[in-house]
Chains A and B, each alone.
Chain A
Amino acid sequence: MIITVNGEERELPAGATVAVLADQLLAPARGVAIAVDGEVVPRGEWPGTPLEDGARVEVVVAVQGG
Chain B
Amino acid sequence: MGELSIASRTFHSRLFLGTGGFRSHEMLQAALKVSRAEICTVALRRLDPAARGSILDVLKSAGVQILPNTAGCYTARDAVITAQLAREAFETDWVKLEVIGDDRTLLPDAPELLVAAEELVDDGFVVLPYTTDDPVLARRLEDIGCAAVMPLGSPIGSGMGIRNPYNVSIMVERAGVPVVLDAGVGTASDAALAMELGCDAVLCASAISRAEDPVAMARAIKLAVEAGWLARGAGRIPRRTYAEASTPDEGAAVFDHPR
Using CB atoms and an 8 Å cutoff, list the residues of chain A in contact with chain B: 6-7, 25-28, 30-35, 38, 40, 42-43, 58-66
Name the A residues within 8 Å of B84 (CB-CB): 35, 40
Instruction: Determine how close the nearest CB of chain A comes to the CB of B10; give it in whole angstroms.
Output: 22
Quick one: which of B41, B44, B51, B55 contacts A60, CB cutoff 8 A? B44
B16-24, B135-143, B185-193, B247-255: which lies at the A interface?
B16-24
Whether B89 pairs with A61 at a CB distance below 8 angstroms is yes
B54 part of interface (Cβ distance < 8 Å): yes
Which residue of B is nearest A8, CB measured?
B46
Name the B residues within 8 Å of A42 (CB-CB): 88
A40–B88 alpha-carbon span in the complex (Å) = 8
B149 part of interface (Cβ distance < 8 Å): no
Name the B residues within 8 Å of A26 (CB-CB): 49
Whether B45 pairs with A60 at a CB distance below 8 angstroms is yes
Name the A residues within 8 Å of B86 (CB-CB): 33
Whether B28 pairs with A64 at a CB distance below 8 angstroms is yes
Given contacts A33-B44, A61-B45, A62-B90, 20 further A-B contacts (CB under 8 A): A25-B49, A33-B85, A33-B88, A33-B89, A40-B81, A58-B85, A61-B44, A61-B51, A62-B43, A62-B44, A62-B68, A64-B21, A64-B22, A65-B18, A65-B19, A65-B42, A65-B45, A65-B69, A66-B18, A66-B71
Using CB atoms and an 8 Å cutoff, list the residues of chain B in contact with chain A: 18-22, 28, 41-49, 51, 54-56, 67-69, 71, 81, 84-86, 88-90, 96, 98, 205
Residue in A35, A40, A42 whose Cβ sees the most chain B Cβ within 10 Å = A40
Given the interface pairs A59-B47, A63-B43, A65-B20, the reply to whether A32 lies near B81 with Cβ below 8 Å is no
Name the B residues within 8 Å of A62 (CB-CB): 42-44, 54-56, 68, 89-90
A60–B88 alpha-carbon span in the complex (Å) = 10
Name the A residues within 8 Å of B89 (CB-CB): 30-33, 60-62
Quick one: which of A6, A64, A66 contacts B46, CB cutoff 8 A? A6
Instruction: Determine how close the nearest CB of chain B comes to the CB of A26; give it in whole angstroms.
Output: 6
Which residue of B is nearest A61, CB measured?
B47
Name the A residues within 8 Å of B45 (CB-CB): 60-61, 63, 65
Cross-chain pair count, CB within 8 angstroms: 95
Quick one: which of A31, A33, A35 contacts B54, CB cutoff 8 A? A31
Instruction: Determine how close the nearest CB of chain A comes to the CB of B212; give it in whole angstroms.
Output: 19
A34–B46 alpha-carbon span in the complex (Å) = 10
A40–B85 alpha-carbon span in the complex (Å) = 6
Quick one: which of A32, A59, A64 contacts B43, CB cutoff 8 A? A64
Instruction: Determine how close the nearest CB of chain A comes to the CB of B137; give it in whole angstroms.
Output: 20
A58–B47 alpha-carbon span in the complex (Å) = 9
A12–B28 alpha-carbon span in the complex (Å) = 38
Whether A58 pairs with B46 at a CB distance below 8 angstroms is yes
A34–B55 alpha-carbon span in the complex (Å) = 18
